[in-house]
Amino acid sequence: MTITTAVSAPDMTQTGSELLADAYFKWLCCASQEVAAAFGGYGLLSGRSDTSLTIATGTNIFVLKEDSAFAKGMYVKATYARNEKIAMSGIVTDYVSGTKTLTVSVEEATAIGDTYALWIIHPAAKPKLSETTNDEIRLEGGSGNGSTNTKIRIFTTVVVNTGASMTYADSATLGASITINETGWYSVTASDKHVTGTTYFGVTKNTASPTTTFATITDKAEVLALGSMISGGGQTVANAIVLLTAGDVIRHHGNGSAGTSANEVYLWVRRLA
């Protein structure tokens, strides 16, 4: 196994430290690739980027200098090469090998609003469940559906609305929606009830069919959770634990019927991690 000779780690207080840092991290990336190749060809799990970014939560896109093996769902940290205290961390939502384009949904960041352009990106430990805020939105009191989005429930009562991970909105025309602000794992639960007939309802994500009955949605990627009520009525619960990305919009989606007692129709979303 041949490994490129190491260069000295840079002292960022020295004149010309940016060039020293660039040489050091170039060696680090090359050495990582050489070690990976020697042990079965596993891809490089680190990267350098000169992309100028203004630090913020949400979607950030880095163009890497070398190809990498980053994959969707990984938790990574991007650190400014001159100051390790300046960093962004979050979940990889996309990586395109051909263009070396890494998309990260940033959940935590320091120095928000400042702009930097020399980044080192590497895998990081995702915060433990006990260290995260269990943000929660719980709605009840289904009172019909939107006049425009005719298959999307409207709610009368907000039981719980805590944390910054999600934003709830309700409209007489568009119905209720919950927008995801931070990428993560979420528990989604919905309930509905109808007196008669076989009815399907559930929770959809980014639906392009808010006037289509839930049972006839053609794009199944929109469906997060499914519930059904057998002929003769009854209350049914639909639930799922799903990975949602910042910007996703979820809705209580049915067939446009009014339903029955208000407290038997609800939507409950809670962030887990």
Reading the chain (273 residues) residue by residue, the pLDDT tens digits are 455 665 565 554 555 555 666 666 566 556 555 555 554 444 467 888 999 999 988 899 999 988 888 888 889 999 998 888 899 999 999 999 889 999 999 888 888 889 999 999 988 877 655 555 668 999 988 878 999 999 999 998 999 998 888 999 999 999 999 999 888 889 999 888 765 666 788 999 999 999 999 889 999 889 998 876 655 556 678 888 888 988 999 999 988 776 655 557 889 999 887
pLDDT of res. 42 = 41
Both tokens assigned to 40: 């079965």
What does pTM read for this prediction?
0.54
For residue 166, the cross-strand partners are 180
Task: Fill in the DSSP letter of residue 64.
Answer: B
Please tell me the distance from the alpha carbon of residue 31 to that of residue 49, in angstroms, as a whole number.
Answer: 17
The CATH architecture of the domain made up of 48-126 is: Beta Barrel (2.40)
> Torsion angle, CA of 82/85/90/92, rounded to 10 degrees?
20
Q: Tokens 């200098």 map to which residue? A: 65
Identify which of 167, 179, 169 has the alpha carbon closest to the alpha carbon of residue 246.
179
Residues 6+ apart with CB under 8 A from 205: 221, 222, 223, 224, 242, 244, 248, 249, 250
Would you give the end-to-end CA distance of the chain in angstroms? 40
Identify which of 232, 169, 224 has the alpha carbon closest to the alpha carbon of residue 197.
232
Both tokens assigned to 103: 């998309």
Identify which of 179, 193, 182, 186 has the alpha carbon closest to the alpha carbon of residue 140.
193
CATH tag, 131-271: 2.60.120.40
The ranges assigned to domains in the chain are 48-126, 131-271
